[in-house]
Amino acid sequence: MTNPFLSKFNTPFNSIPFDKLKVEHFLPAIEEGINQGLSEIDLIIQNTESPTFENTIEALEKVGSLLDLVSTTFYNLNSAETSKDMQVLAKEISPKLSDYSNDIILNDHLFKRIELVYEEKEKLVLSPEQITLLEKTYKSFKRNGSKLNTDEKEQLRAIDKELSQLTLAFSENVLTENNSYELVITNRNDLSGLPEGIIEAAKITAKEKGKENAWVFTLDFPSYGPFMMYSDNRLLKEQLFKAYGSKAFKNNEYDNQIIIKRIVELRHSRAVLLGYKSHADFVLEERMAEFPTKVMSFLQNLLDYALPSAKEELKELTNYSKLLGGPDELKKWDVPYYSEKLKKEKFSIDDELLRPYFKLENVIEGVFTSAKKLYGLSFIKRSDIPIYHKDVTTYEVKNENNEFVALFYADFFPRAGKRQGAWMTSYINQKVENGNNIRPHVSIVCNFTKPTESKPSLLTFNEVTTLFHEFGHALHGMCANGQYGSITGTNVYWDFVELPSQIMENWCYEKECLDLFAKHYETGNSIPSEYIQKIIDSSNFQSGLATIRQIGLATLDMAWHSQEPSSDKSVKEFEQQVITKTDLISPVSETCTSCSFSHIFSGGYSSGYYSYKWAEVLDADAFEAFKEKGIFNKEVAHAFYKNILSAGGSEHPAILYKRFRGRDADPKALLRRAGLVEKTMIKTCN
């Protein structure tokens, strides 16, 4: 049987032949990729010529192309379309990749060549992008153990191998717990308050699970979120909330508490072994924020503004619930319900009023039209590109000169094999190879409201902003135009990577953009102007509570990773102590955020969750440039495209941002947009 990875792809744009891939193809291709990569390393080391940028740094950049393709494809599928066989295989592949990476990073002969080139960098004639690649390569080796002694290198190998297995186990436990829960309702009265579309979707879910005369709600957010927001049944909301918040926190075989403690312990030990005070110190050395103290100062300054607003918002919500005969003290499962009612009363708007205007296909067309107006990109649907699931749609992306820019995969609906949340990823990164500009293949994966028998997929406004957000990441990947794949597209500092995504959300609040796509799915009528105004007016509703929630999560992340691990406290005790300042509602003993906090324990955001708020400063300031000259202004769009989207990580993000904006970002922009303070009452937050 031919392994598709080990022969030439006979597909449009050399796209991955998903229709021919089987689970058993991955391991042989991984092993062949490892062998090829190590052979390519040997050729660099054995080169008898003196080390140069070309024969060492550029040569290293080209190492392992097969392995990159196979491993990227495997892990992308393991997130979007996994299976028991994939999960078993991941446990075998992960340590092999960890060993391979360390075989390169800890190779003394290779590092010596890199070091010699680095020491001569002042004498070399290099472009800014080449300087970035040289510095990144040298630092990557130095920061990951190249200067350790033999015993220390063996310790590092053991730590990395165990970490690779633990982060996989964490993710699998969360997915298993998420998929195993069902709230089965058989009494129609228990559906009181729920919109008909949500009830219909629950009936379809019940049928899919073989349950007749029932409605099933799951922990997938398109099911969980509306139930918490609209159900009149407080007891069922409590039950569902506790199920959602207790994922991997039940002292069963899928419990993540021991895994968390071990991950934190290993990360700290690794950082100390490499000469750093903590994992956060190690991570932040290669971030815009630089130091844990700077991150904590940034978060504290935001908290100083947000906390008073949050307390007032909670007080208002509590008083409102009492007026409706609700509880004297709000519990966490009460907040979405009364918040939605209060929002509707204050602004005459809610998700169900807006849903008919946000048919998924129309929103997709709207985001495509926005990209065309801003950057001249066109998206042509293709039916001849192999896909990994029937729900996936593919598009050929072209520029104004009708040139191929990228291949774009879109995967929107929940299913058992897909992890929660929404994300963008790449299968093939942009780079220049043998004079050819290899264009990227990128994907966005979401968990949106599914179509029902009577209605198409109608999105909540939050889902609309999520689509624009992930599409912003996709644009960053698609528009990449550098020389080296490791520093193009989204390969940038982690606290800069959210700028292209978060700035796109701003267009969702603009009439000029909403008029492009927000049309009633039945009548075709455009969304009324008064609805758009309500969206704008309500955009800062409970912004204080939303802000302190993000600050709380970022603070929890930093607490886990910026100090020596605590051995005397349980995961729950540690978490509760950390979030006391930002958790204004009584804690729920059965729940623990850390146990399903996939961003920081399996998703690459450890010591980086603050990045969302950090990048909000950048995106608020950057969008003001569009607002000043028009949200589809070509001049501003070209500057953003040239200096941010296409530049990738070719230079330090502070340099790129300043080149776009003409100055550093104004931290006041975020506070202005959030409405947390008046323009005249702002202090800096960096």
Quick one: average pLDDT of 432-450? 96
- Going by C-alpha positions, the residue among 646, 560, 573 that lies closest to residue 608 is 560
pTM recorded for the entire structure: 0.94
* 617-638 per-position pLDDT tens digit: 999 999 999 999 999 999 999 9
Read off the tokens for 582. 């930002």
**Domain co-membership, 118 together with 185:** no
Same structural domain, 68 and 199 = no
- 582 assigned to some structural domain: yes
131/206 same-domain check: no
Length of the chain in residues, anyone?
686
**Residue 597's pLDDT band (cuts 50, 70, 90):** very high
Would 85 be classed as within a structural domain?
A: yes
* Tokens encoding 300: 């504290």
Tokens 């979401």 found at: 446
Mean pLDDT (whole number) for 293-306: 95
**Domain-embedded: residue 247:** no
- Share of residues in the chain with pLDDT > 90 (%): 96
Both 227 and 273 in one domain: the answer is: no
Give me the mean pLDDT over the 419-441 stretch: 96
Residue 323 has pLDDT above 80, yes or no: yes
Which pLDDT band, with edges at 50, 70 and 90, does 682 fall under?
A: very low
CA distance 579 to 461: 29
Tell me which amino acid residue 205 is: T
Provide the 3-class DSSP secondary structure of residue 380: strand
Q: What is the pLDDT at residue 566?
A: 81
- What would the pLDDT profile of 483-517 be if each residue is shown by its tens digit? 999 999 999 999 999 999 999 999 999 999 999 99
Residue 420 lies in a domain: no
- 642-655 pLDDT tens trace: 999 999 999 999 99
Is position 384 within any domain? no
Please compute, for residue 204, the number of CA atoms within 13 A of its CA located in the half-sphere on the CB side. Answer: 14
- DSSP state letters, 53-98: IIIIIIHHHTTTHHHHHHHHHHHHHHHHS--HHHHHHHHHHHHHHH
Q: Is the pLDDT of residue 681 over 60?
A: no
Give the residue-averaged pLDDT of 312-323. Answer: 97
Q: Please report which confidence band the pLDDT of residue 677 belongs to, taking 50, 70 and 90 as the band edges.
A: low
> Which residues have CB under 8 Å from 148's CB, separation 6+?
106, 156, 273, 274
Total domain count, the chain: 3
Window from 300-304, 336-340, 670-674 with minimum mean pLDDT: 670-674
45 and 122 share one domain: yes
Q: Is the pLDDT of residue 1 over 80?
A: no
Q: Same domain for 224 and 268?
A: no
The pLDDT value given to residue 460: 95
Name the DSSP class of 424: E
Using the predicted structure, report yes or no on whether residue 683 has a pLDDT greater than 60. Answer: no
Q: Which of helix, strand or coil describes residue 247?
A: coil
Band of pLDDT at residue 685, cut at 50, 70 and 90: very low
Which of 609, 629, 657 is at the close of a domain?
609
Same domain, 13 and 129: yes
In whole angstroms, what is the distance from residue 664 CA to residue 658 CA? 5
Which residue range is the domain that position 579 belongs to?
Answer: 257-349+543-609
**656 has a pLDDT exceeding 70:** yes
**Is residue 310 domain-shared with residue 340, that is, in the same domain?**
yes
Task: Taking residues 584-597, report their average pLDDT.
Answer: 97
Class of residue 529 by CB neighbours under 10 A (exposed 0-12, middle 13-18, buried 19+): exposed
| 680 pLDDT more than 70 | no
Dist. CA 469–CA 480, nearest whole Å: 17
Q: Judge whether residue 459 has pLDDT over 70.
A: yes
Domain stops at, among 575, 609, 643: 609
Looking at the domain assignment, is residue 412 inside a domain?
Answer: no
Single-letter code of the amino acid located at 81? E
Is 323 found in the same domain as 261?
yes
Alpha helices in 382-539 (DSSP H): 461-478, 499-505, 511-517, 529-537
For 341-353, write each residue's pLDDT tens digit: 999 999 999 999 9
Q: Which residue has the tokens 């503004």?
A: 305
Q: Are residues 15 and 135 in the same domain?
A: yes
pLDDT, mean of residues 563-577: 93
Q: Which two tokens stand for residue 572?
A: 């729950």
Q: What is the mean pLDDT of residues 89-106?
A: 96
In terms of domains, do 76 and 143 share one? yes
Single out the residue in 585, 609, 633 at which a domain terminates. 609
Could you tell me if 505 and 519 are in contact, meaning their C-beta atoms sit under 8 angstroms apart?
no
Name the residues annotated as catalytic.
Answer: 470
Three-state SS across 544-596?
A: HHHHHHHHHHHHHHHHHHCCCCCCCCCHHHHHHHHHCCCCCCCCCCCCCHHHH
Calpha distance 638→396 (Å, rounded): 22
CB 354 within 8 A of CB 531: yes
Domain of residue 322, CATH code: 1.10.1370.10
Question: Residue 670: what pLDDT?
Answer: 87
100 and 19 together in one domain: yes
**Stretch (H or E) spanning 309:** helix 292-323
Q: What is the pLDDT of residue 674?
A: 80
Q: What is the pLDDT of residue 567?
A: 80
- The Cα-based distances of 401 to 375, 407, 488, 536, 573 in angstroms read 12, 16, 22, 36, 59
Tell me if 278 is assigned to some domain: yes
AA letter at 402 = N
What CATH number corresponds to the domain at position 80?
Answer: 1.20.1050.40
Confidence of residue 668 (pLDDT cuts 50, 70, 90): confident
Mean pLDDT of 120-141: 97
Q: What is the mean pLDDT of residues 7-27?
A: 97
The verdict on residue 592 lying in a domain is yes
Q: How many CB atoms lie within 10 A of CB 206?
A: 20
